Amino acid sequence: MIGLGLVAKEKTLRKKDSIQPDKEEVTCLPSVEVKEEDSGFGKVASFPDKDLNQSLKARTKMTMQLRNNHSNTQLECKRPPEAFGFEQATQEYTLQSFGEMADSFKADYFNMPVHMVPTEVVEKEFWRLVSSIEEDVTVEYGADIHSREFGSGFPVNNGKWNLSPEEEVEYATSGWNLNVMPVLDQSVLCHINADISGMKVPWLYVGMVFSAFCWHIEDHWSYSINYLHWGEPKTWYGVPSLAAEHLEEVMKRLTPELFDCQPDLLHQLVTLMNPNTLMSHGVPVVRTNQCAGEFVVTFPRAYHSGFNQGYNFAEAVNFCTADWLPAGRQCIEHYRRLQRYCVFSHEELICKMAAFPEKLDLNLAVAVHKEMFILVQEERRLRKTLLEKGITEAEREAFELLPDDERQCIKCKTTCFLSALACYDCPDGLVCLSHINDLCKCSRNRQYLRYRYTLDELPAMLQKLKIRAESFDNWAKNVQAALEVEDGRKRSFEELRALESEARERRFPNSELLQRLKNCLSEAEACISQVLGLVSNSDDRLEAPQLTLTELQVLLKQMDTLPCAMHQINEVKDVLQQVEAYQIQTREALISVPYNSELLQSLLEKGQQLCVEVPEAHQLQEMVEQVQWLDQVKQALSPSAQRHSLVIMKKLLVTGNKVPSSPSVNKARAELQELLTIAERWEEKAHFCLEARQKHTPATLEVIIREAENIPVYLPNIQSLKEALTKAQAWIADVNEIQNGDHYPCLDDLEGLVAVGRDLPVELEELRQLENQVLTAHSWKKKASKTFLKKNSCYTLLEVLCPCADVGSVSTKRSRWMEKEIGLYKYDTELLGLSAQDLRDPGSVIMAFKEGEAKEKEGILQLRHINSAKPNPISSSTAASATSICVCGQVPAGEEALQCDLCQDWFHGQCVTVPRLLSSLRASPTSSQLLAWWEWNTKFLCPLCMRSRRPRLETILSLLVGLQRLPVRLPEGEALQCLTERAIGWQGRARQALASEDVAALLEQLAKVRQQLQNKLRHEKAPTSSSDLASDSLRNSTGKDILKEEELVLNEDRLLSPEKTLRKETLYKRDEELLPSLLSQLTGPVLELPEATRAPLEELMMEGDLLEVTLDENYSIWQLLQAGQNPNLERILTLLELEKSENPEEQTPERRQQRRQKVDLSRKEHKHILEEHMSSVQKKDISPPSFSSITPLLHLSYFHQQEL
């Protein structure tokens, strides 16, 4: 066993001049004289590992030094002997510091590492030093350290270390644990209540090289056991107990002067003598080296000594067995002669064990009975001698309650227990009955006997011990008679169990007879258990392992031969009879043809109830499995039965492979295997049809399905193929229904049919035709989107083509823009106020479009009324109302603010697309075109009102021609037709208005004014340069040409070459300088428009501006209305300033970046508007407006519009 808890650390080695190990040994003196001075036994504390490396204060000062002071040989021989040996040291150590000191001392002494010094060299040097009188060597020894105070090296319960249950059983409660061994039941010391340090409680020993323990025997001549936990070896010398007196005689003969002064010198552990000297005088000496992990046991009165080879840690304790009792009694007599104090009272120990004989081990009880008998005889003799001396007074005394020093004999120091002699006149002392003459000089009449038990009580105790000692013999006779059935009567199981319990309760020794009794009981219990398994009615009986018929017969025979009467034997005989009858029935059923499955099953269940394995039952089991499997196969392949899957059929085949073979089973297995092979082949074919890239026609699939229907197995792939064929047929029916309807099919319906047809694993002839139709429709839709939609437009084609029914609702327009920004907007048909079915009806679409027109007109009037009431941000010192929000998200203010001619709302000129005034007027300041200000391109429509490119009607008509060729209906196509009809209708009304008598007169008057201006300027100055001629040609251009030029200027920066760009920059610079000087010459109005004429024209102008189509009549009405009012100098100045800021020279990357940052910043500032609207949309159930095209809240920045 290896001790736990204390581990030695590595030590630093130091060296000095080495000794000569081969030096001739100094001859040992015939004897060594050792004298004692006040000596003590030191202790070295052990600390946890975490404290070992720290310089802490030592926990004890008790250490040990071995000194041998001989400075001068001659003087030492002449001077009287001086006390030397062991003495108390003053230095304190921890376990680590002591180890470092010990290893350092040994390394320095031998001038080599401690683990390399041979044990023979250390032993030789040790005895040389002991024999030498010239050298002085001092070593220290941590001896007799109390384990209760500083901890044991063995694991203990309730100790510092938490032990697992396995470690507790293996170590803490092990008999080899020195904390447990002294108190085992077989140890006498367990009957001593006090914890005797060193005997019942282990002592610890921390040694170093040369530290020694002198010749001695244990207290009370007890056993001792020493365990070396770790460290270097410990060298032992021992003398057998038979030679103890011889050793004492030799020592007395060699050192008589020491023993004359101290007769008990050998008990003081201060005497060392070379073993060679003892052996030379005939004393037998044995030697051993105890290594780490080894035990050393010393026997009673066996002298031993030794020394440590180096730093180590050991633990030792005493124990006493039954055979020690005679030696313990002899030790007391020896102590009496030497007048040595006892550690405990031997008489008290014997009487205490005798008082409770049932608690004693049997061997111990026998030994105690012998000792008690001797003790009683001796007590009778001594008390008889005391009576003869005339001492008759006596009183009972409980000596065990007195301290040991109050009941010691004043003569021999023996601790009294049974009796003692005391004197009334001398109460301070008492003597044992062996020294009655040494008590005092008082009269015998004053002396009296103090006794613990009377002479009548002692034989009673002796009798109880005898009964306990002889109880085993009586028990053995009863067991022998029961097992051998000597009287012819078998004992019952309970009687044998009682004998076994008696042996356990009285702790009888384990003997052959007890083992036979236990074996008999075990066999009887096994038989009873098997019988209960046979005859029990519980469900556990069915789960118990079955007995074979042979085992049942053996069981019956075993129960009959056991020396135990068992009433269950009749039940076993009944079971055997039932088994034999069952065998006959089973054999008859197996040979009957045809097989009766019900009979076979009932016999099988009956056999299981018997709990006995009958040979015929195995054949019956095989037959039942065969019949049941054949029935399952027949039922699975029955035409009327539900078809099973391939998995179930395969499991059925796997089960059939486990069924015992027979002709019918083999035939069924072959047929089932063939069926599965065919089914798997059809499954593979169906899988190929479902997964192959080349699809098959419906006719081919019908043939495959029809042939697979003949297989009586459920085939998943065939079923999937059947479902695919059904879907294909339904798809073809849907296509025929759509194609043969009253109207062309809608694009959404065709796309849905195409998506479904592509997923079907069937070749469909109609699919290619539908795909072409869908492709053509998407091509037309793409062309229309390119015609109408601006680049990166936030509107869909359907939104642009439909009227803006909620144009008057600012909040709705803002929310639509927000939805587009955050991705919540629903496109296309979901925005229409029509269901999917209504979209398929052209009449419903036209009606919705007409309703949208009315709502759009009503909304724009309401919006114009609201916006007209807002203050002018140019003339006003304060900004416009907070209700005017530019596309950048900020409130428009300043001279660059522009008012939309349609919705009358205000915007930053830099954030929207504005008319190109300088681009449309490239003439000289003297040209008449410059003075015809009503023809200038100053009309401004905000991005909220002008949502598309507004193509010309001729372009739209070409789209309509392409639409007529499509065999598909599109919501965008319906909307385009409605838009075209609306534009043509408005154009007719506009032409009718322009052709009226009043308006025609005004147009003629306006032409005259223009002619007058031209004639006037022609007389003043004729054109003298090519630039003037170019200006005249430009002057004669129509409004249509100006509009075309305005369209081209959107992408002007990309189209111009570097040379043209330079020329453009020169023209811009000239116009910017000359055009502002003409503003003072502009006069108006040039026409007087009556209110009756103006109002219809303004209404026509508003309706024309709502159209997402460009018409020439719109421009004509615009010129007429402009000529009937004063020139809008504020707008002209604003446009000039804006166009000047857009001059290519001024459009540096830094300015563009600043404007982008401004727009982005404004969007961040209005982010809360988006969040609030998102929350309101999630909380409210807002139904979509009918046929709506809602205007967004935040539009693209000016730079983004420039890219359009």
Alpha carbon distance 1126, 574 (integer Å): 135
Torsion, Cα of 691, 694, 700, 706 (10° steps): -10
- Res 827 pLDDT > 50: no
Give the mean model confidence (pLDDT) for residues 417-433.
Answer: 91
For residue 1072, name the pLDDT band (cuts at 50, 70, 90). Answer: low
For residue 1109, name the pLDDT band (cuts at 50, 70, 90). Answer: very high
Alpha carbon distance 1203, 249 (integer Å): 129
Alpha carbon distance 947, 199 (integer Å): 112
Q: Are 993 and 1114 in contact (CB under 8 A)?
A: no
Least confidently predicted of 291-305, 536-550, 843-857? 536-550
- Res 772 pLDDT > 60: yes
pLDDT value, residue 20: 35
Report which of residues 1047 and 983 the model is more confident about: 983
pLDDT value, residue 246: 93
Give the mean model confidence (pLDDT) for residues 713-731.
Answer: 78
pLDDT value, residue 334: 92
- Res 485 pLDDT > 70: yes
Condensed to tens digits (0 to 9), the pLDDT of residues 44-101 reads 323 233 333 333 233 333 344 444 433 344 444 444 554 445 667 778 888 999 999 9
Give the mean model confidence (pLDDT) for residues 1092-1096.
Answer: 89
- Lookup: tokens for 303: 């002298």
Contacts of 193 (CB under 8 A, 6+ apart): none
Polymer length in residues for the chain: 1204
Alpha carbon distance 889, 1036 (integer Å): 41
- Lookup: tokens for 505: 């309760």
Angle, alpha carbons 482-483-484 (nearest 5°): 95
pLDDT value, residue 51: 34
Alpha carbon distance 661, 655 (integer Å): 12
For residue 207, name the pLDDT band (cuts at 50, 70, 90). Answer: very high
Give the mean model confidence (pLDDT) for residues 576-589.
Answer: 72
Please name the residue that has the structure tokens 């059809």.
682
Give the mean model confidence (pLDDT) for residues 215-224.
Answer: 92
pLDDT value, residue 1043: 40
**pTM (two decimals):** 0.46
The candidate with the shortest Cα–Cα distance to 95, out of 199, 231, 226, 198, is 231
Question: What is the DSSP-derived secondary structure letter of residue 690?
Answer: H
Give the mean model confidence (pLDDT) for residues 486-490.
Answer: 75
Contacts of 546 (CB under 8 A, 6+ apart): 611, 612, 613
In DSSP notation, 554-587 reads HHHHHHHHSSEE-TTHHHHHHHHHHHHHHHHHHH
Alpha carbon 1180 to its chain's center: 45
Report which of residues 272 and 585 the model is more confident about: 272
- Res 515 pLDDT > 80: yes
- Res 1128 pLDDT > 50: yes
In DSSP notation, 167-209 reads HIIIIIT-TTSTTTGGGSTT-GGGG--S--BTTTB-EEEEE-T
Please name the residue that has the structure tokens 């019952």.
492
pLDDT value, residue 1191: 28
For residue 25, name the pLDDT band (cuts at 50, 70, 90). Answer: very low
Alpha carbon distance 629, 589 (integer Å): 19
pLDDT value, residue 1063: 52
pLDDT value, residue 692: 61
Q: Are 526 and 564 in contact (CB under 8 A)?
A: no
- Res 37 pLDDT > 70: no
Report which of residues 1174 and 738 the model is more confident about: 738
pLDDT value, residue 116: 93
Alpha carbon distance 1136, 456 (integer Å): 147
Pairing of strands 203-207, 142-146: antiparallel
The candidate with the shortest Cα–Cα distance to 1139, out of 1044, 1197, 1069, is 1069
* C-alpha pair distances (Å), 1079 with each of 308, 936, 1019, 1073, 1136: 127, 12, 21, 12, 11
Neighbours of 1188 (CB within 10 A): 24
Give the mean model confidence (pLDDT) for residues 617-639.
Answer: 72
pLDDT value, residue 759: 80
Alpha carbon distance 1179, 738 (integer Å): 40
Widest Cα–Cα separation across the chain = 188
pLDDT value, residue 61: 32
Give the mean model confidence (pLDDT) for residues 1189-1197.
Answer: 29
Report which of residues 921 and 242 the model is more confident about: 242
pLDDT value, residue 1156: 55
**799 backbone dihedrals φ, ψ, rounded to 5°:** -65, -40
For residue 484, name the pLDDT band (cuts at 50, 70, 90). Answer: confident
Alpha carbon distance 280, 224 (integer Å): 27
Alpha carbon distance 859, 52 (integer Å): 96
Give the mean model confidence (pLDDT) for residues 914-934.
Answer: 64
Question: What is the DSSP-derived secondary structure letter of residue 422?
Answer: E
Question: What is the DSSP-derived secondary structure letter of residue 395?
Answer: E
Alpha carbon distance 328, 320 (integer Å): 9
Condensed to tens digits (0 to 9), the pLDDT of residues 326-384 reads 999 999 999 999 888 999 999 999 999 888 888 887 788 888 989 999 999 999 999 99
Please name the residue that has the structure tokens 């001398």.
426
Which strand (E) or helix (H) includes residue 467?
Answer: helix 457-484
- Lookup: tokens for 214: 């002198």
- Lookup: tokens for 774: 């869908």
- Res 147 pLDDT > 60: yes
Least confidently predicted of 681-695, 994-1008, 1103-1117, 1143-1157? 1143-1157
- Res 926 pLDDT > 50: no
- Res 732 pLDDT > 70: yes
Alpha carbon distance 505, 391 (integer Å): 46
Report which of residues 290 and 1048 the model is more confident about: 290
Q: Are 62 and 88 in contact (CB under 8 A)?
A: yes
Alpha carbon distance 837, 843 (integer Å): 12
- Lookup: tokens for 440: 């005092």
Percent of all residues in the chain with a pLDDT value above 90, rounded to a whole number: 20
Report which of residues 667 and 23 the model is more confident about: 667
Angle between helices 569-591 and 512-535 (to 10 degrees): 50
Report which of residues 670 and 57 the model is more confident about: 670
The candidate with the shortest Cα–Cα distance to 201, out of 132, 129, 146, is 146
Least confidently predicted of 26-30, 551-555, 582-586, 731-735? 26-30
- Res 314 pLDDT > 90: yes
pLDDT value, residue 122: 95
Alpha carbon distance 1003, 914 (integer Å): 27
Alpha carbon distance 264, 217 (integer Å): 12
pLDDT value, residue 26: 28
Neighbours of 209 (CB within 10 A): 24
- Res 225 pLDDT > 90: yes
Query: Residues 839, 840, 843, 846: is their CA dihedral positive or negative?
Result: positive
pLDDT value, residue 514: 80
The CA R_g of the chain, rounded to the nearest whole Å, is 64
Condensed to tens digits (0 to 9), the pLDDT of residues 537-548 reads 555 544 555 777
SS3 865: helix
pLDDT value, residue 594: 62
198: left (phi over 0), alpha (psi -120 to 50) or beta: left
- Lookup: tokens for 464: 């109880």
Alpha carbon distance 908, 449 (integer Å): 135
- Round the average pLDDT of the chain to a whole number and report it: 75
Q: Where are the extended beta strands (E) located within 574-713?
A: 612-613
pLDDT value, residue 1046: 39
Report which of residues 890 and 783 the model is more confident about: 783
Q: Which ranges constitute the DSSP H helices of 709-841?
A: 716-739, 747-759, 765-788, 797-801, 810-822, 836-839
Q: Are 530 and 491 in contact (CB under 8 A)?
A: no
Helices (H) and strands (E) in the chain, counts: 45, 22
Which strand (E) or helix (H) includes residue 921?
Answer: none
